[in-house]
Amino acid sequence: MIRAEAIALEEFRRAHVPLYNEQKLKLGVFGANCSYGVNISHAPTTYKVTWEHTSEIVRRADAMGFELALPVARWRGFGGTTDFNGESFETYTWAAGLAQATRNIMVAATSHVPTVHPIVAAKQAATIDHISNGRFALNLVMGWFTPEMEMFQGTQRAHDDRYRYGAEWLTVVKRLWTDEAPFDFETADFHIKQAQAHPKPIQKPYPVLINAGHSPAARDFSAREVDFSFVGFDSVEAVRAVAARVREIARTDYRRDIGVCTSALVVCRETEAEARQVYRSVIEHGDWVAAENLMKVLGIESQSFNERIDKYRERVVAGWGTNPIIGTPEQVTSQLAEVSAAGVDGIVFGFLDYNEELKYFDSAVMPLLRQAGLRK
């Protein structure tokens, strides 16, 4: 019976949920709701945080057949001359607007679990799932930026305790999405009486769940609780190892399958020299004060990331610490093929100038991805 239910769920998702479609490499846009996107830099760009501009980015990605629009949840910036990510659209309401403005792409909210009660989150998520007709995804983050979390609750939980709290929070949300009868939920952190929520989400058993993190606690949470784990893209070799490890934990410890995705800054131009010049411009215009503030917080306060920071100082400025994908359309296609071959199901892109670069990506790269068998 359990096997039959699993097969039925797999078939439903393949037919109705974009992140489970038959595209070999799923694609998305990342960070297009925050000032400066994924680049801590004053490099020239038309990108700006307005509803008109950011919704145009996602509508363009939707028209291109992308599967996911994944925002960054941010409550304050990182200082410096950019105050990197200091302006941002709140992600549940942004996703609700995009749900109405798009047709096929999945729209995600990125939710800091300590900042919103699980009953409120469950209700908001179900509502957006209805607005989008089953295209909502919930990206769960535990809150690594201590000054942000102190805005809400005064103190920051210890690293592993954040994931314990997150698991309890998600248990409440999942039950609200699936249980027909009211229920009580009592722990040290939650004292919930007769919880209930209707209507249920369109997606069954509930919307797609996402988590990103690199610590043992984060990987265990992903393997146990969510549908897709977003892993760091330090190199193709590293992402291959991490993807295999996350899947191994899920299958061995929890008897479940999990998808693996990653992110990257893409700089694609007609020539490699031009692409590298643009990438160098991002670094040369970098706001190093904001970058240092970010690296300090990550290095000192986030066990999920601290081992990567010193090695990737420039990458923090240009692409949030990911391994950039730079080159001609042919080179970009080749690099994406390597990422796919490493066991990655999908990748979300940051750009210096999202709207303008998506146009070029559509005309120059998408046909090559189809030729390479990565897209249909």
249-289 residue pLDDT tens: 999 999 999 999 999 999 999 999 999 999 999 999 999 99
**Averaged pLDDT of the chain:** 94
Q: What is the mean pLDDT of residues 5-23?
A: 88
- C-alpha 211, offset from chain centre: 7
Above 50 in pLDDT, residue 80?
yes
Residue 155 has a pLDDT of 81
Nearest to 282 by CA among 84, 39, 20: 39
Q: What is the mean pLDDT of residues 187-214?
A: 97
Q: Which of 235-239, 307-311, 336-340 has the highest mean pLDDT?
A: 336-340
Q: Going from the N-terminus, what domains does the chain have, and what CATH number goes with each?
A: 22-369 (3.20.20.30)
Nearest to 72 by CA among 97, 101, 109, 100: 109
Give the side-chain half-sphere CA count within 13 A for 299.
14
Cis peptide before 205 (omega within 30 of 0): yes
Residue 254 has a pLDDT of 97
Cis peptide before 71 (omega within 30 of 0): no
Helix (H) or strand (E) holding 309: none
Residue 1 has a pLDDT of 47
Q: What is the mean pLDDT of residues 181-187?
A: 99
Assess contact for 38 and 319: CB atoms under 8 A: yes
**For the ranges 40-54, 291-305, 316-330, which has the lowest average pLDDT?**
291-305
* First-to-final CA distance of the chain: 34
